[in-house]
Structure 1
Amino acid sequence: MSEEAPTSFERRLDARLVLSVIAAGIMSFSGVCVETAMNVTFPTLMSEFKIDTATVQWMTTSYLLVLASIVPTSSYLNRRFKTKTVFTVSMCFYIAGIVTGLTAVSFPMLLCGRILEGIGTGIALPLMFNIITEQAPTKNMGVMMGIGTLVTAMAPAVGPSVGGWLAENFGWRAIFAALLPVLIVAFVLGIFSIRQSHPVEKRKFDALGWVLLSLSFVCLVFAVDFGSRLGWGSPAQLALFAGFVCLLALFVRHEKNVDVPLVHLSVFGKRRFVLGVVALVTLQFTVLGLSFLLPNYSQLVMGTGQTEAGSILLLGCFVGALMAPLSGQILDKLGARRPILTGASCALLGVILLELFSGNLHTAAATAIYVCFAFGQSLMVGNTMTTSLEQLPAETRADGNAVINTLQQLAGALGTSVASAIVNAAQAGASNVAHATMLGTRSAYLVLAVVMVVPLLCMERATRAKGSAD
């Protein structure tokens, strides 16, 4: 049953489409901005709230875990409610989270704010890409994906540098205060620009499927976190891993038998799509791992301030942001293989260089190496997402979008948790915290370098000529 919805929609590239993408993207921008900005403040938060590395990383992990739980509902929300309604609700959650963070007087209250922000961003992130895939002309899809990626790619450039400067001069709460005007602008843009491009359907929500999937994610993230607290292979950690596997198996079985599934698992029948998903997930694991490692290494090992620590990511993220729309144009002109494989190679090289020089790294060198990584990331993300979603029929692209965004957020949470666990293990009982942090960071870089081989191999296979992969 449809209600007050268009029976047909003309795809066109105009100002309203661009503004609606920007409006939805600003919340994604704000989420990543706060995340990367707060990474720079971790040593300050550890001191103020008397917490350790394994605890403070939950600022990022809790946010990404909530995102991973909310994003799977995006396919249902996209079909059940008007686009503008979904946007408004997500904005309300996000602003509530920002205000909670701004007024937080304890670490648990700060975490509650991040959880509310995660709900808002979890709704908004797929919304942006759904608008693009449903409303952009096919010939301009690569460029529009690039614009969407640009919105979120700017956040890692702004977050650490501006956030570090705000925290160092006005305190970490200023990070939340500075975002409120940006969110008001986004709200106004969204209200006046977002269009409805598809009929709204009355359909049931697969609550049981959502609970099973969310609980499986919780078990997995806590299992990784317990590795740093109780030791890898501890009974509690093994029990959580077992819980993750069982819950995920129950979710898959349930989805195959339910009339209206949370996510159509048929998308996993497309081999090229699956390879693209694996590439994006492993890349996101590395991106969030580096976002945690570099600012903390800079402060604890190199002895820099928050502003300088944040600036390490600035140039690389700025280059990546500039490349985002250009990479879409490259895709439209040259196809997927060359830009994606070039990007994967540059990103892998960047992580390898960080590992090789981690014992004697300074700000300029770290910045230059991260530029190499960010350049590769910008060539990969939007192009890989576009190429992967093109493998799916139009009616399941919202499900494919939900799968990609869900697993990216889960991978980000795991990347932060794993990086934190490795560093925390090295710091445990060490008399020289700076040296221990250096050793732990080097080990984490080695793990990330191995992980970054995966997207290169996956996309080499996924972008082969038709007939050799699917």
Structure 2
Amino acid sequence: MNENVARHTQLAILAVGLLSFTGILVETSLNVTYYTLTKQLGVSLSVLQWLTSGYLLMVTIVMSTTAYLIQRFAAQRLFQFAVAASLVGTTLCAIAPSFPILLLGRLCQAVATGIATPLMFYLIMALIPHRQLGQYMGLASMIISLAPALGPTYGGWLTALWSWRLIFVMIIPVVLVVFWLGQKFIHLPAKSQQRRFDWPGLLFLAVALVSLSEGVESTGTLGWYTLTTWAWATIFIAAVVLLVNHARRTESPLLNFKVLADPAVAMWAIVFFCLQFANIGLSFLLPQFTQNVLQSSALTAGLMLLPGSILGGLMSPVAGSVYDKIGPRWPLLVSNGAILLSCLLLWGFTGLLTGTIITLLYMFFRFGFNFGFGNTMSDASTRVSGPLKGDLSSIFNTLQQYAGSIGTSVLAAILAANERLMPDKKAAITQGSQQSFFLIAMLGLIGIVLTILITKYRKARR
């Protein structure tokens, strides 16, 4: 890090970043415990996946409020509340005797992550000089993208060592250290401007997100042509229409969609969404495939993802530095190209996959993801100024979390649909995984197309 950035600023960012890291680490740690939890808690995978998708859904809803919260409250007060929510949620999860209590604890943890993650990015955008923005955004991306990849290894190791409960127990001392750091070094006051909180907007957004997630799950477990599926689809469409109409009329919308008026920002938002859908979706899918098809243990399933985790984490600051020097085009083309190719290979050779092949292809995938993820938000942030940066951070972080939630729900629904239609679970998981690999590959293709369009748009504007 450059010495021009004060040490207390670096430690403030570190404190919030570590709180975000712990939340996301636990999120993906549970992916390798589902095989165990379905037996211990007596629930199906389609229900159990709400520990991830429900968590991310709550994170999304909380993140949608951060544009208001950042202006209304000082950074340290928001940080204190996030730490309290994290400690309550982690404790509930560690002692949970049943699925509902475990889910309640996860939702409390989601509140903490939903505040900490956008607060970290806001501190960076508010305190870091423009010439170092890419570097610090890359480091922030490394923190939040390393966690989901390390999670399966962490969760698999602790589950094999003793119990899945240890995943939560080990987090508590880390959160306490983070609290001490934040109390000492976070000093960013609230914005002077005040605006009313958009309660109707929050209600419409929450209903839209929940109904879409429920509809996706219903499609997988019940099928397309059922009353339940169509009911959720109707609720989703109605909520979206109400949300859009409300946002047009109110002076202080929950999410300020005006930042998406610039076509380049809007297209970067889509690329950002696709990248996170692919990232969280694949980190959910591969442990299910390795445990159910390859009959691997939770620890082995986690270890398969570890080399890719390390490579991806190392690539984030490098990608940020490359962006600072040459701009977004080539980093994003390389990023989405790697995602496209790696997932096409997973799709083409699904029936021949081994632990070694999965490890190598996941390394290629993580290289691609981390080479582009932080740079999308970095470039989008250069196209807005002043108070709109907080709105941009809120929208992008909301998209990031919901992409993970809906990505998990969609891939879980694909697996559930195949299990419903095929009596052999191993064959169903194999076919469902193959379909999912192809879907993720197409997201990489979308990213390539949009990156090219953004480049042409920017040249035309010049």
Q: Letter of the 2:328 partner, please give it.
A: A
Query: Which residue of structure 1 lines up, in the alignment, with residue 393 of structure 2?
Result: 401
Query: Which residue of structure 2 lines up, in the alignment, with residue 27 of structure 1?
Result: 19
- 1:314 deviates by 1.0
Match 1:290 to one of 282, 304, 308: 282
Write out per-residue CA displacement over residues 371-417 of structure 1, whole angstroms, 9 at most, x where no aligned residue.
00100111111111100121112221111111111112112111111
Query: Which residue of structure 1 lines up, in the alignment, with residue 77 of structure 2?
Result: 85
Query: Which residue of structure 1 lines up, in the alignment, with residue 130 of structure 2?
Result: 138
Query: Which residue of structure 1 lines up, in the alignment, with residue 333 of structure 2?
Result: 341
Report if aligned partners of 2:351, 2:430 keep a CA contact under 8 Å in 1. yes
- Superposed, 1:20-419 pairs within 5 Å as 20-196=12-188, 199-419=191-411
1:271–1:365 distance in 2 versus 1, CA, 3 Å: same
For 2:442 and 2:327, locate their aligned partners in 1 and report how far apart those are by CA, in whole Å.
27
Report if aligned partners of 1:350, 1:373 keep a CA contact under 8 Å in 2. yes
- 1:27 deviates by 2.1
- 1:184 deviates by 1.3
Q: Letter of the 2:104 partner, please give it.
A: C
SS at match of 1:370: helix
Greater shift, 239-248 or 121-130, is seen at 239-248
Query: Which residue of structure 2 lines up, in the alignment, with residue 468 of structure 1?
Result: 460
- 1:466 deviates by 2.6
1:429–1:46 distance in 2 versus 1, CA, 3 Å: farther
- 1:154 deviates by 2.2
- 1:463 deviates by 3.0
For 1:253 and 1:465, locate their aligned partners in 2 and report how far apart those are by CA, in whole Å.
28
1:448 aligns with 2:440: yes
Report if aligned partners of 2:271, 2:447 keep a CA contact under 8 Å in 1. yes
Write out per-residue CA displacement over residues 122-153 of structure 1, whole angstroms, 9 at most, x where no aligned residue.
11111000000111001100011011112112
SS at match of 2:460: coil
1:46–1:429 distance in 2 versus 1, CA, 3 Å: farther
Aligned residue-pair number: 460
Could you tell me the percent identity over the aligned residues? 33
For 1:240 and 1:120, locate their aligned partners in 2 and report how far apart those are by CA, in whole Å.
28
Write out per-residue CA displacement over residues 289-335 of structure 1, whole angstroms, 9 at most, x where no aligned residue.
11111011111110111111011211111111111111111111121
Q: Letter of the 1:392 partner, please give it.
A: V
For 1:252 and 1:195, locate their aligned partners in 2 and report how far apart those are by CA, in whole Å.
36
Q: What is the aligned-residue RMSD (CA, Å)? A: 1.6
- 1:239 deviates by 2.0
Q: If the length of structure 2 is used for normalisation, what is the TM-score?
A: 0.96
For 1:125 and 1:30, locate their aligned partners in 2 and report how far apart those are by CA, in whole Å.
11
1:469–1:374 distance in 2 versus 1, CA, 3 Å: farther
Unaligned runs of 5+ residues in structure 2 are none
Q: Letter of the 2:280 partner, please give it.
A: L
- 1:202 deviates by 3.7
Q: Letter of the 1:155 partner, please give it.
A: A
Unaligned runs of 5+ residues in structure 1 are 1-10
Report if aligned partners of 1:271, 1:469 keep a CA contact under 8 Å in 2. no
SS at match of 1:428: helix
Q: Letter of the 2:70 partner, please give it.
A: N
Query: Which residue of structure 2 lines up, in the alignment, with residue 18 of structure 1?
Result: 10
Q: If the length of structure 1 is used for normalisation, what is the TM-score?
A: 0.95
- 1:347 deviates by 1.4
For 2:16 and 2:244, locate their aligned partners in 1 and report how far apart those are by CA, in whole Å.
30
Q: Letter of the 1:128 partner, please give it.
A: M
Report if aligned partners of 2:316, 2:374 keep a CA contact under 8 Å in 1. yes
Report if aligned partners of 1:81, 1:201 keep a CA contact under 8 Å in 2. no
For 2:231 and 2:284, locate their aligned partners in 1 and report how far apart those are by CA, in whole Å.
27
Write out per-residue CA displacement over residues 187-229 of structure 1, whole angstroms, 9 at most, x where no aligned residue.
1111111121663444321111111111111111111011112
